Amino acid sequence: MTHILKGLTPLTGTLLLIVSLTPAQAQDAAAGKKAFGACLSCHSVKPGATGIGPSLAGIVGKKAGTNDPKFSYSAAMKKGPVWSEAQLDRFLADPKGTLPGNTMAMAPTKDAKKRADIIAYLKSN
């Protein structure tokens, strides 16, 4: 086994790592799509598809309160952070506590795995 590993180039090792991660990431995004079903009554992941809530298409990496130009964000949301995975996790776990004064009517998502799956799904859109 050691002989085989010594023969791998850094690029080959990197490719093997990427290939090995892909099924787990796809599984999380698929589970996240299902978990996101609870969010669909207000949000879409289609660009420009504003509903009761803003479109969440491409939300990861965007500044809070700026993602959907057609949506009228609350002052609290406009003062919010850039939506990193960690920030989204905190927000989904405690929307009112993370951004006091925001107007989103969502119960906290207590299950950490479910939050991670939703974030994986949002990253894929």
CATH of the domain at 116: 1.10.760.10
Phi, psi angles (nearest 5°) of residue 63: -70, 135
Q: Domain span at residue 111? A: 25-123
In a domain, 6, yes or no: no
In a domain, 68, yes or no: yes
Give the residue among 93, 98, 66 at the shortest CA–CA distance from 82.
66
- In the structure, what pLDDT confidence band is assigned to residue 27 with cuts at 50, 70 and 90? low
Q: What is the pLDDT of residue 6?
A: 54
Mean pLDDT, all residues of the chain: 85
Range scoring the smallest mean pLDDT among 12-21, 56-65, 74-83, 97-106: 12-21
* pTM for this predicted structure: 0.77
> How many CB atoms within 10 Å of residue 42?
14
Q: What is the pLDDT of residue 13?
A: 45
In a domain, 110, yes or no: yes
Q: What is the pLDDT of residue 46?
A: 96
In a domain, 10, yes or no: no
Q: What is the pLDDT of residue 20?
A: 40
Average pLDDT, stretch 56-83? 97
Q: Which amino acid is it at 122?
A: L
